[in-house]
Structure 1
């Protein structure tokens, strides 16, 4: 089984501006700070038209329930990779190295009347008998929280 998360982020900006924001390493670093990553490295290769984004970060697990913390430890290392084949479409993989689970999905930007909606559609899979469903739901909830922080950061970034 797997848990699916679909999250929309609406920006009052054209798709070109949102794609440029997502190509800016400084924006990605601001998001890492907003989600309280303790350490992070951001790499963006390519440009607005097509790019590869890699974010490696460590996050505290103090918000993780104790039943799950024994699987992830006091901090969780997360590696997020995005392969943008165009300015508006990406494949995303979020992995927790050394742990039995990952998140895979897509991001799409759709502009209408100068307003852009970014839709992130992810499938969360954990391979731990008995507790997989609970941990998948927890990871989906944490991912949704991170996407909300990214959205707030993006709105501030685009308003500058």
Structure 2
């Protein structure tokens, strides 16, 4: 098991950041910036972006091309892989997150928090990654952690532009 953690600060209130994170259009923009092959976003309830106090669940299913991965990873996942990120927002500033790869021995779970920081908001993600493959599981966990770091870096760049009006 490997642990992944990241913190990014946005130039907005926690309510504004949460509304952005609940917006399917934002999640689709992030997925395309990450270079996915396909994306599907569902939010329940559908109007969660407009209601900062309402608990919601967001499910983002993406398909990625694996041609850039090392051969050892492609051997297990194939030419493309699917990931399903589920965020369950129980409060305005905290969620649980799971990241699954259907059909693969990979699982990840953790937390997402939004914390006021001066005039902005710190978005913190902490996830434990497990790959249940003997011998090479640790190497694959490290690849997943690297992919998470790159993905959340792109999400932050896209989010900062989104909050500044680039949509």
Q: 1:80 maps to which residue?
A: 85
State the 1:105 CA deviation. 0.6
SS state at 1:135 partner: helix
Q: 2:19 maps to which residue?
A: 20
CA distance in 1, matches of 2:146, 2:118: 31
Q: How does 1:1-160 map to 2 (within 5 A)?
A: 2-46=1-45, 47=48, 48-49=52-53, 50-160=55-165
Render the CA deviation track for 1:53-106: whole Å, top value 9, x for unaligned.
Answer: 001110011221001110010001111111000111010000000000111110
SS state at 1:17 partner: helix
SS state at 1:36 partner: coil
Superposed structure 1 runs of 4+ greater than 2 Å apart: none
State the 1:12 CA deviation. 1.1
TM-score, reference length from structure 1: 0.97
Render the CA deviation track for 1:99-126: whole Å, top value 9, x for unaligned.
Answer: 0011111000000222100000000000
CA distance in 1, matches of 2:9, 2:81: 29
CA distance in 1, matches of 2:69, 2:34: 14
CA distance in 2, matches of 1:131, 1:35: 26
SS state at 1:80 partner: strand
CA distance in 2, matches of 1:140, 1:77: 16
Root-mean-square deviation (Å): 0.8
Q: What is the aligned residue count?
A: 159
